[in-house]
Amino acid sequence: MPQPDRRSDEDLFLAYRAGESPALEVLIRRYHDDLIRFLYRLTGERAAAEDVFQDTFLQVHVSAGTFDASRRFKPWLFTIAANKARDLIRRNTRRRAMDLDSPIGGGRSGDSDDGRTFVDLMEIDAIQPGEQVGTAERDRMVQQAVSELPPSLREVLLLAYFQKMSYSQVADVLQIPLGTVKSRLHAAVAAFARKWHIVSKGGDGT
């Protein structure tokens, strides 16, 4: 079994930029799970998350020459991913606005939250085959609550609590001032808590 490549993200990407093609494959494998989970929460659809993931790394390849080697790779990667996801969400929103037959999902009563905080709930992964129904139902409710947040609040909540990025890293990813990150995160926390309370009690979150 080959030994894992323990080079830093930045060293790997610089090696790729210098012509070492397999280095990008290492980065793709390294970030696949985290980025897919982030994009799944952001877009609300597994297929959309996979599409945006592919678009993200295609853009990473195209924009390789613009990467600032003095900065961290992860915030740059997530900046690209967030921008790609925003584009997809805007396109889907326009399509839904034109489609009067689009179904409106309603919440269903499910498990209690077992005393978990909303931060704990944010860390539930996408559904995996064979998981218990209770976990699947809780994940559905979390996704419903997250999906009903405005995109600007959804992004900051996912980055800060799910990806555990610092305020400054979130500011870099979203390209907004640090003060805006803090105010949006405060609003996002409150909004998610309200949505979760409604959804977990069987409401539609609106």
pLDDT in tens, 57-70: 999 999 999 999 88
Return the pLDDT at 111: 40
- pLDDT the model gives residue 161: 84
- Threshold 0.75, pTM exceeds: no
Cβ(187)–Cβ(155) below 8 Å: no
Across 71-159, the runs of DSSP E, i.e. the strands, are none
What type of residue sits at position 196?
W
Measure the CA–CA gap between 185 and 161, rounded to whole angstroms.
10
What is the structure's pLDDT at 125? 46
The whole-number pLDDT of residue 137 equals 79
> What architecture is domain 109-206?
Orthogonal Bundle (1.10)
Q: Write down the residue that tokens 């967030």 correspond to.
A: 82
Sketch the domain layout of the chain as residue ranges: 7-100, 109-206
User: What does the pLDDT read at residue 50?
Assistant: 94
Q: Give the pLDDT of residue 94.
A: 56
pLDDT in tens, the chain (206 residues): 667 888 999 999 999 999 999 999 999 999 999 999 999 999 988 999 999 999 999 999 999 999 998 899 999 999 999 999 998 888 865 554 333 333 323 333 334 444 445 445 554 444 444 444 467 777 788 888 888 899 899 999 999 988 889 999 999 999 999 999 999 999 999 999 898 888 877 765 55
* CATH classification for the domain delimited by 7-100, as one of 2.70.98.60, 3.20.20.70, 2.60.40.350, 1.10.1740.10: 1.10.1740.10
**pLDDT at residue 69 in the model:** 86
